[in-house]
Amino acid sequence: MKRLTILSIILFTITSFAYETQAPQSTVSAYGPKEALLYKLHYGFINAGEARIEVDPTLYFINNKVCYKTAVIGTTTGTFDLAMHVRDQWTSYIDTATKIPQRSLRDIEEGNYKLKEMVMFDYANKKANVIRESGKTLDKSTASYSISHNIQDIVSGAYYLRTLDYSKMAVGTNINLQAFFEDKLYDFTVRYAGKERVKTSYGYINAIKIQPVMPDNEMFDGGNSIRMWLSDDANKIPVKIEADMFIGKVEVDLKKFSGLKHPIVFTKK
């Protein structure tokens, strides 16, 4: 993880998962074309950035698979934009049947650093074939990396978390995961932490709480430093994220949503 700002580190940590163990899957599809979610990232009273997660209305045919085109677009705002200037877009083409990515793209602009990347997943040979253009002159390179079956990328992992049936898990259940990013596989554990009632900008909502168990590092404060709440309904959209970082607590809150596949209910209390 060589080139990650605070904004992209949080997005990477909560979205780039692949599963090693067979976690219980929901029988109801949580998302579909036209879904769009907008989040505000803030540090205290300072607005630091925005992230948009969306599913394209059109279906695509990649590797002989019918795919959703999904994307995460992250930008810094306000004074953070002057200091960091992030304009990042991650795109993933996800097989509508298996929910496994067939191709992913990154278009990164962070300060003076630029990267354009395409990853083509070859599951038959357990390879991720990568084409990159990086640096100020966008020098081109190619590489091939070993992967496991059912790998997820930085975008499809967010949607994978929404396919799990948390009602069949005991509180404290650990899900052993593996993440592929840039040039290697990362081992992760995500813990199901039960259900809570969460306050959002839309009101209160019943939510599923999950916690990535973080390894020791300089960016995050402790093993339970990231907490994520999904709506406790058929959508399972992220409604709130908190991260205890070296600069203090960073929060990501749902700002707008549209095109949800199922009803969602917020209340005043």
Q: SS3 of 177, please? A: strand
Domain span at residue 217 reads 6-258
- Number of domains present in the structure of the chain: 1
In a domain, 223, yes or no: yes
Residues of the chain where predicted confidence (pLDDT) is lower than 70: 1-23, 177-180, 185-187, 214-224, 246-247
In a domain, 263, yes or no: no
pLDDT for position 214: 63
Q: Where are the alpha helices (DSSP H) in the chain?
A: 6-15, 78-83, 156-161
pLDDT for position 229: 95
CATH code at 210?
2.40.360
- In this structure, is the dihedral angle defined by the CA atoms of residues 122, 125, 127 and 130, taken in order, positive or negative? negative
In a domain, 242, yes or no: yes
Query: Other C-beta atoms within 10 Å of 138: how many?
Result: 11
In a domain, 18, yes or no: yes
Distance CA 247, CA 229 (A): 22
Q: How many CA atoms lie within 13 A of 15 on its CB side?
A: 25
In a domain, 158, yes or no: yes
In a domain, 64, yes or no: yes
End-to-end CA distance of the chain: 41
In a domain, 268, yes or no: no
